[in-house]
Structure 1
Amino acid sequence: MSSSPRFFRLALVLGLLSAVGPFAIDMYLPALPAIGASLGAGIGAVQASLTVFFVALAAGQMVFGSLSDRFGRNPPLYAGLALFALASVGCALATDIHTLVALRFIQGLGAAAGMAIPRAVVRDLHTGTDAARLMSLLMLVFSVSPILAPLAGSLAIALAGWRSVFWAVAVAALAGMALMATSLAETRQPADRRAAAQGNAAAVYGALLRDRHYLGLVFTGGFAMAGFFVYLANSSFVMIDHYGLSPATYSVAFGVNAAAFFGASQLNGPLGERFGLAPLARGAATACAAVMGAMLLYYAAGGDRLVVLLVLYFIASGLMGLVIPTTSVLALEEHGAHAGAASALLGTLQMAAGTLMMAVVGLFTDGRPLPMVAGMAAGAWIAAALAWGSLRHSARPAAPAPRGRQSGA
């Protein structure tokens, strides 16, 4: 079943829909210095246009998650993609940094649908190691964004300026809507939609927020991801301005690290069957914390070689590929009845953790590697501590669940 053409086709569609929003982040990164120069804005103001996108991405998932439980998965996805496309056109036409920041917030709200709902679709259909396989395949397709988007962004900027980036992501959103219309069937059953409509969304979110095991898993993945958010916000300035890389070379370096994440994530299924999903996530989080600790020690001691940053973060990225998809699957495992809300809250809390970490590191950003590396290491250490607290009692491999509606779904 997990190797069937339908399984891979579903992963392809969900991965591409999930990638539309991140495409607007990763394609945008090489443009940050150019946007600052064009609009007369400093580093802090330009980074604000990235930060508000993450804030909106976090808040919007709560809305779209509940809507997808009540009305099905597809209608909110269409609405989110349409809002994203309209805001992208506005960003392309912005003439000052304040307008751009406001429109980036709206763009992030639209992108939230593509982040929350595909995870809920995975939970609608699968649990256990089959869900881990599908989530990892989804992320493999999703990897087209951090690997190719910075390169595409650099090319677009060189040929037509930074505004072309936003025209390109608007077209990507329209393509996503066309893909949905032809390839994505509704997975939320009518009876489940009626049950959700009769319930209280606030009560559902309240119950999730009281579930310590769920929260521990969410924040394990969230703080592992927070280190990556710090890297997202600062790496273009560190590598282009401090180390002197061209935007194209920076894009290649960024893509190589992303490839490590998504390549390693494909091992989640077989490693989860052999060792169990919980021990896998716990061990990978611990190893990632050790690697990031070594990187921080190097830079704190006065080291400043780019190759150290690239090699150690390549290893850490691969380890995060074993942590983040696995903890997401485990967090949703027992919440099939409200998978949209559980997925949305997961995304919101993880985005909030990442945004908070970016904001804190931003207070110390000076264009050099050390503040960025310290923030990345802090995220990895918190994730490892949470993994040991949340997963220490889980040792058995999760058995694959049969395809179709699961218990509670």
Structure 2
Amino acid sequence: MSTANTTSTSSGRSSVKWILMLGALAALPAITTDMYLPSLPAVADDLGTTQAAAQFTMSGMLIGAGVGQLVIGPFSDRFGRRLPLLIGISLHVVTSILCSMTPDIGSLIALRVCQGFFNAAASVVAIAVIRDRFVGSDAARLLSRLMLVIGVAPLFAPTVGQAIAGAWQWRAVFYALALIGLALVLIVWRFMPESLPREKRRSGDPRRVAGGYLALLRDRHFMALAVIPGLGLAVIMSYVVGSPFVFQDEYGLSQGQFAAVFALNGAAIVGSAQLNAALVRRAAPIRVLRVAVIVQLACALVLLALVLTGLGGIVGLMAGLWLVLGTQGLIPANSSVLALHDYGHMAGTAAAVIGALQSGVAGLVSPLVGLLGGDALAMVCVMLSVAALTLVVLGLGTPAYRKGGWRERDGMDPGPTATAGETEEREAEQVEAQGPDQR
């Protein structure tokens, strides 16, 4: 075997290792959400609370994750990726055990907020590690491949959670989440090397951290791209928090049937993510993104028509949801990569802003489903509104739809052989030389 082939094989094995490891970490919040999801009606009954309050145990976790990422991102830029990851997942284990012992809905909501805060370390560090090692279309492809691993959560987690709750009640689900967290701690400790060298770590001075956040907040282009993954998660979470009540209470599906429907829609997200990985080999991420948001809005309008007319009944609802959710694999990865492009020198902080917006926006939007009635129409109206807002943000906040307004450099790799390490110093110089408005 030639040296080139040996290098290629070694690189391929390394990529698979990182995809599996980072995918497992990034999937922790999704697993924590989806294993618990089928238990929502049981939680409401057992704790004597309302549907909206039970749903807020999901939304509260997202809000906690949003705050957590803002804290953990700069921490990972200062101390490296491994330390905050190990601390965060360890505290996720502790919080999961406490959730299993909660006596009322108020304490469960509070603990879920804390749980979201701590396991935010897994998602923000996973994105930062990708930016440490990859750039441009390579990073977009890796993020899309991660969706395959992350997508296993909605495919299997509800079924596993339903089986656990059916055998030992809903509290046992949190013991399972604690065991998963413990396994991830061991994996990180044994197999994940540090990806941020000491010489590239940023000062922990609060003024510099605040200055970094201020620079990001003043960059309108970055903020528009950074909020789009949050809007995408809001679409998904509006479906997630509403679907147990819509399918089980409104349409009469059993927990097992609901888990199968949930897995089918999860497959749509995974499939479109793999489609995106193939598309970005041939087209700039921005080109894929600006088409995908239009397609998603069109599919959401079709879904609304199906619900209003009742055409196709539950089959029509499922088909419409499959189309809307299927576009999600084409949106967050591309938007995140484009947002991070100029911020390789502060990837943890930038990833924290993206993650905080992702969790915060979804956490604030998804309770609207319950507040608007919790039925299929409420769920679909929230999803449609968010899809429309996504198009507005991309159109007004970036030059994506302006002729000649988007530089190809922002949507493609810096060069055919460039790596994150080779381009990082150049990117830092460009950011210092250009004000946010110039970009």
- Partner of 1:394, secondary structure, is coil
Q: Does residue 328 of structure 1 match 2:336? A: yes
Mapped partners of 2:189, 2:417: distance in 1: 28
Mapped partners of 1:133, 1:196: distance in 2: 32
Greater gyration radius: 2
Mapped partners of 2:15, 2:217: distance in 1: 32
- Equivalent residues in 2 for 1:256-335, closer than 5 Å: 256-301=264-309, 303=311, 305-335=313-343
2:70 is matched with 62
- Partner of 2:15, secondary structure, is helix
State the shift of 1:355 in Å.
1.8
- Partner of 1:90, secondary structure, is helix
- Name the CA shift for 1:369/1:219 in 2 (closer, same or farther; >3 Å): same
Q: Of 90, 99, 109, which aligns to 2:98?
A: 90
State the shift of 1:243 in Å.
0.6
Q: Does residue 71 of structure 1 match 2:79? A: yes
Q: Of 364, 373, 376, which aligns to 1:369?
A: 376
Q: Does residue 162 of structure 1 match 2:147? A: no
Mapped partners of 1:290, 1:324: distance in 2: 18
Moved more, 60-69 or 199-208: 199-208
Moved more, 301-310 or 313-322: 301-310
State the shift of 1:401 in Å.
5.6
State the shift of 1:225 in Å.
2.0
Mapped partners of 2:343, 2:140: distance in 1: 15
- Name the CA shift for 1:5/1:55 in 2 (closer, same or farther; >3 Å): same
Moved more, 115-124 or 268-277: 268-277
Mapped partners of 1:361, 1:106: distance in 2: 23
Mapped partners of 1:354, 1:234: distance in 2: 13
Q: What amino acid maps onto 1:407 in structure 2?
A: E
Q: What amino acid maps onto 1:289 in structure 2?
A: L
2:437 is matched with none
1:337 is matched with 345
Mapped partners of 2:328, 2:172: distance in 1: 32
Q: Does residue 407 of structure 1 match 2:407? A: no
Mapped partners of 1:195, 1:48: distance in 2: 37
CA contact (8 A) 2:60 2:113 kept: yes
Q: Over residues 170-222 of structure 1, what are the superposed CA-to-partner deviations in whole Å (9 max), with x where a residue is unaligned?
A: 00000000110121110111111155669611110111011111111122222
Mapped partners of 1:193, 1:395: distance in 2: 30
Q: Of 393, 406, 414, which aligns to 1:394?
A: 406
Q: Of 386, 394, 419, which aligns to 1:379?
A: 386
Q: What amino acid maps onto 1:287 in structure 2?
A: V
Q: What amino acid maps onto 1:398 in structure 2?
A: M
CA contact (8 A) 1:227 1:376 kept: yes
CA contact (8 A) 1:23 1:149 kept: yes
CA contact (8 A) 2:242 2:369 kept: no
Mapped partners of 1:378, 1:401: distance in 2: 41
Mapped partners of 2:191, 2:395: distance in 1: 40
Mapped partners of 2:77, 2:29: distance in 1: 21
1:204 is matched with 212
TM-score (structure 2 length as normaliser)? 0.89
CA contact (8 A) 1:332 1:343 kept: yes
CA contact (8 A) 1:21 1:115 kept: yes
Q: Of 251, 263, 275, which aligns to 1:255?
A: 263
Q: Of 228, 234, 237, which aligns to 2:245?
A: 237
Mapped partners of 2:103, 2:310: distance in 1: 41
Mapped partners of 2:107, 2:230: distance in 1: 30
Name structure 2 gaps, 5 residues minimum: 1-7, 429-439
Mapped partners of 1:401, 1:233: distance in 2: 44
Q: What amino acid maps onto 1:253 in structure 2?
A: V
State percent identity of aligned pairs: 35
1:192 is matched with 200
Moved more, 387-396 or 140-149: 387-396
Q: What amino acid maps onto 1:110 in structure 2?
A: F
2:231 is matched with 223
Mapped partners of 1:123, 1:374: distance in 2: 35
CA contact (8 A) 2:65 2:360 kept: no
State the shift of 1:157 in Å.
1.0
Q: Does residue 360 of structure 1 match 2:368? A: yes
- Equivalent residues in 2 for 1:2-41, closer than 5 Å: 4-41=12-49
CA contact (8 A) 1:128 1:401 kept: no
Mapped partners of 1:197, 1:125: distance in 2: 25
Mapped partners of 1:261, 1:395: distance in 2: 29
CA contact (8 A) 1:127 1:401 kept: no
CA contact (8 A) 1:41 1:97 kept: yes
Name structure 1 gaps, 5 residues minimum: none
Q: Over residues 278-333 of structure 1, what are the superposed CA-to-partner deviations in whole Å (9 max), with x where a residue is unaligned?
A: 01011011001000011112323455711112112212222110111111111111
- Partner of 1:66, secondary structure, is helix
Q: CA RMSD in A?
A: 1.8
- Name the CA shift for 1:195/1:42 in 2 (closer, same or farther; >3 Å): closer
- Partner of 1:356, secondary structure, is helix
Mapped partners of 2:189, 2:116: distance in 1: 22
State the shift of 1:380 in Å.
1.0
Between the two proteins, the alignment pairs up a number of residues equal to 408
Q: What amino acid maps onto 1:54 in structure 2?
A: L
1:136 is matched with 144
TM-score (structure 1 length as normaliser)? 0.95
